[in-house]
Chains A and B, each alone.
Chain A
């Protein structure tokens, strides 16, 4: 494969198509399908298992016997594999088939896990709700990266920006609001958002004005935030005596919360979580449907061409990096004032880097990045769920570490297998000097 990709001429491209990524992915699905039908289905327990959609009593549920389900999913895999080898004009169908097969992996994992566990039922609605909640900071962080990188500034300081805003926001809440007043909670969230903007402004000044290597600038932010928040925690937050307090409270979305089953879980939740959806949607809307977004993107692709069109590249870059910082600030507030109330050293725990991965996973698009964030959220929720189910293979308990590492392994496989090379904005990382 590598030999062919050295000099891609038109002829090579046609040559490469015959046995490209799609066919290879198809083959993997085909083999997996056969393995499921021939090996997994006959060996899995025949006892009935249940997916519950509501908490008991009299829950709505879906019962099935694992071998049949595994066989059905295996057939879907086989179908996807077969479709991949159709002539080129059916490429769309092959793509759809693979997408379906990939989606079927989620129920497959659940079915197999439940089949291997002694527990007969598990609540699925909750699981999906947990996934969405856990995706919140990752999706927000990915949007931060998107704003910055689409304008041409590499941002690996997402982690630090989130951590810094989590710490500074909670510090304000603990000192001024004694971690108990709702008004101060919201003021503190606002402070967190502004802190995110300030840290992003630092990144912007370093990379735009001083033109230092943007990766270095990001690392500076990460280190600085780690030090600063640690310092604030031990010198201000802990002495204030308000290390713990209230966090944002759940509320239901009017009308939608009345929907049976879904209303209680999906439409009842915490505010920053819902803001995340708005941020993702607005990012997409502004970046891909407005003139402003077009300008931002053109600065990331070819700043000099943008300049000839009368766009002020420097201003545009400052604006979008700082806007991204606000979003990261919101993500920071999620950590210290929504998911829990309190600040711990390094509490973002690499979520910023995972957001970065989600953004690259989504090939620098809002929708893709959101999907990446969901994948992480789901895998993490699934990991802790499976741990709880005590899955065993012939008496050998599968260690919980295995499930905890599952999200990362899945991402690795997805990125390597289905995604391939992702193309960053062309002018990213290059310092820009106005041509005057």
Chain B
């Protein structure tokens, strides 16, 4: 969100004050959201429901009570991880659409480690980091594979991550379903799922909403800030962005492009993996493949909405999660299909990206921004 340009400008106190009062960067997304709700409202009106009634129910579903707010936030947490998985790779000029698979593998690894016998005797302060790291490790490995394939053989990461998504799905399905031999299946459960993880490995709940808001929120916020820090303040981050902007220049400057590609993919995978681990540990206390459906897919949109900015992902994930969390109440009270929310989401993404439309309609002055410079050069950019 323009942070890159800001670095190039002289930074004085006056400039900071000016920036603080500049509403434009906030104004355009807000107008975009408003416009999306108008589009959704027209659709609702078309099926003969009063859109204000429907939106009132949606709003109460999102923020109507303490429990609803907590549920909305809880729903947003996994999107932070899956969006980071896209955003970090995006900065390296890679298009990682493998968050779906990386979440699954991270989740199943975390669930497996969480059921280890000695975990029950381990204090939570050690057990929780172990389960989170296990998830991150699973995701890391599942991201590392397309990374190494891209760097060493040139196999396009879009193909390989799509393939690995499907492979991951069948792999975890087998791990969780199989009765002969039993791998991780909980034989007493009627639906295929793993056994519950040890109590000590559970992330503590903050508010017992549905789904519960737990410490995974702070874990994922931490990961967002960590990735932002890595990108902005470390040599590795600088190299990643350079490779993403211009791999030839990076190569010429003596950076190992291959190494950056592999690591960027693997770290992306780890972000998704840790999000999956936090879900396993905080929300379900066990692993069920279905719980991760579409989280990786939506992560693409969440990350693009945030323009691949790790901090921007936080509000964008919150918007995403709370809309999904509020929708059932809208369906219940106004009898409007929850899919309206998906249409609104796509419109938000559309209007934020095509801010020329928003600026035109609401007469906001200023130039339309050029978005997401890295990776706009097509996808075989190298």
Give the dominant DSSP class at A's interface.
Answer: helix
The stretch of A55-63, A227-235, A309-317 that contacts the partner chain: A227-235
A47 within 8 A of B: no
For window 158-176 of B, CB contacts with A under 8 Å fall at: 158-160, 162-167, 169-171, 173-174
**B371 — nearest CB in chain A belongs to which residue?**
A213
The stretch of B12-20, B133-141, B349-357 that contacts the partner chain: B349-357
Most chain B CB within 10 A, of A223, A409, A421, is at A223
Contact with B along A361-393 (1 / 0, CB 8 A): 100000000000000000000000000000000
Contact with A along B88-101 (1 / 0, CB 8 A): 00000001010000
B340 within 8 A of A: yes
| Least Cβ–Cβ distance between A387 and chain B, in angstroms | 12
The stretch of B1-9, B203-211, B222-230, B372-380 that contacts the partner chain: B372-380
B353 touches A217 (CB 8 A): yes
* A212 in complex: contacting residue of B178, B297, B353, B378, CB < 8 Å: B353
A354 within 8 A of B: yes
**B174 — nearest CB in chain A belongs to which residue?**
A401
| Least Cβ–Cβ distance between A393 and chain B, in angstroms | 13
| Least Cβ–Cβ distance between A88 and chain B, in angstroms | 22
A399 within 8 A of B: yes
| Least Cβ–Cβ distance between B171 and chain A, in angstroms | 7
Q: Known interface pairs A154-B378, A361-B159, A405-B167. Does A353 touch B43 (Cβ–Cβ under 8 Å)?
A: no
Q: Which residues of A contact B177 (CB under 8 A)?
A: 401
**A411 — nearest CB in chain B belongs to which residue?**
B163
A353 and B340 alpha carbons, distance in the complex (Å): 24
A107 within 8 A of B: no
B171 touches A408 (CB 8 A): no
| Least Cβ–Cβ distance between A58 and chain B, in angstroms | 39
**B258 — nearest CB in chain A belongs to which residue?**
A2
A154 and B378 alpha carbons, distance in the complex (Å): 7
B341 touches A227 (CB 8 A): yes
**B300 — nearest CB in chain A belongs to which residue?**
A219
Q: Which residues of A contact B345 (CB under 8 A)?
A: 223, 227
A227 touches B339 (CB 8 A): yes
Contact with B along A127-158 (1 / 0, CB 8 A): 00000000000000000000000000010000
**A430 — nearest CB in chain B belongs to which residue?**
B377
A70 within 8 A of B: no
- Classify chain A's interface size: 35 or more
Q: Which residues of B contact A69 (CB under 8 A)?
A: none
A224 touches B353 (CB 8 A): no
A416 touches B378 (CB 8 A): no
A220 touches B349 (CB 8 A): yes
A377 and B170 alpha carbons, distance in the complex (Å): 18
A424 touches B376 (CB 8 A): no
Q: Which residues of A contact B378 (CB under 8 A)?
A: 154, 424-430
B152 within 8 A of A: yes
B149 touches A399 (CB 8 A): no
B95 touches A420 (CB 8 A): no
A215 touches B154 (CB 8 A): no
| Least Cβ–Cβ distance between A357 and chain B, in angstroms | 4
A422 and B381 alpha carbons, distance in the complex (Å): 10
Q: Which residues of B contact A212 (CB under 8 A)?
A: 353-354, 371
For window 327-347 of A, CB contacts with B under 8 Å fall at: none
| Least Cβ–Cβ distance between A96 and chain B, in angstroms | 22
**B145 — nearest CB in chain A belongs to which residue?**
A412
Q: Which residues of A contact B60 (CB under 8 A)?
A: none
A415 within 8 A of B: yes
B270 within 8 A of A: no
Q: Which residues of B contact A360 (CB under 8 A)?
A: 156, 158-159
A350 touches B339 (CB 8 A): no
B220 within 8 A of A: no
A329 and B248 alpha carbons, distance in the complex (Å): 39
A405 touches B159 (CB 8 A): no
Q: Which residues of A contact B353 (CB under 8 A)?
A: 206, 212-213, 216-217, 220
Q: Known interface pairs A1-B152, A405-B166, A408-B167. Does A357 touch B349 (Cβ–Cβ under 8 Å)?
A: no
Q: Known interface pairs A227-B343, A353-B97, A360-B159. Does A210 touch B354 (Cβ–Cβ under 8 Å)?
A: yes
For window 237-295 of B, CB contacts with A under 8 Å fall at: 251, 256, 258
A235 touches B171 (CB 8 A): no
Q: Known interface pairs A223-B345, A357-B159. Does A408 touch B166 (Cβ–Cβ under 8 Å)?
A: yes
A223 touches B342 (CB 8 A): yes
Q: Known interface pairs A215-B375, A417-B153. Does A357 touch B170 (Cβ–Cβ under 8 Å)?
A: no
B162 touches A230 (CB 8 A): no
Q: Which residues of B contact A421 (CB under 8 A)?
A: 154, 380, 382
| Least Cβ–Cβ distance between A417 and chain B, in angstroms | 7
A268 within 8 A of B: no
**A418 — nearest CB in chain B belongs to which residue?**
B153
B342 touches A230 (CB 8 A): yes
A175 within 8 A of B: no
B379 touches A428 (CB 8 A): yes
* A402 in complex: contacting residue of B151, B174, B344, B376, CB < 8 Å: B174
| Least Cβ–Cβ distance between B144 and chain A, in angstroms | 14
Q: Which residues of A contact B304 (CB under 8 A)?
A: 213, 215-216, 219
Q: Which residues of A contact B339 (CB under 8 A)?
A: 226-231, 234
B155 within 8 A of A: yes
| Least Cβ–Cβ distance between B330 and chain A, in angstroms | 12
| Least Cβ–Cβ distance between B265 and chain A, in angstroms | 14
A233 and B64 alpha carbons, distance in the complex (Å): 29
| Least Cβ–Cβ distance between B10 and chain A, in angstroms | 29
A332 and B301 alpha carbons, distance in the complex (Å): 23
| Least Cβ–Cβ distance between B371 and chain A, in angstroms | 5
* B372 in complex: contacting residue of A6, A216, A423, CB < 8 Å: A216
A235 touches B377 (CB 8 A): no
A216 and B301 alpha carbons, distance in the complex (Å): 8
A404 within 8 A of B: yes
Given contacts A154-B379, A226-B346, A401-B171, 20 further A-B contacts (CB under 8 A): A7-B251, A206-B354, A215-B304, A215-B375, A215-B379, A219-B304, A219-B349, A223-B345, A227-B343, A231-B337, A234-B337, A235-B47, A354-B162, A356-B162, A360-B156, A360-B159, A399-B174, A405-B169, A408-B166, A429-B378
Complex A-B: 6 CB contacts under 8 Å:
A216-B353, A220-B349, A224-B347, A227-B344, A230-B342, A408-B163
Interface of B toward A, CB cutoff 8 Å: 43, 47, 95, 97, 149, 151-156, 158-160, 162-167, 169-171, 173-174, 177-178, 180, 251, 256, 258, 297, 300-301, 304, 337-347, 349-350, 353-354, 356-357, 371-372, 375-380, 382
Going nearest first, the 4 A-B pairs with the smallest beta carbon separation are A227-B342, A230-B339, A421-B154, A223-B346
Interface of A toward B, CB cutoff 8 Å: 1-2, 6-7, 154, 206, 210, 212-217, 219-220, 222-224, 226-231, 234-235, 350, 353-354, 356-357, 360-361, 397, 399, 401-402, 404-405, 408-409, 411-412, 415-417, 419-431
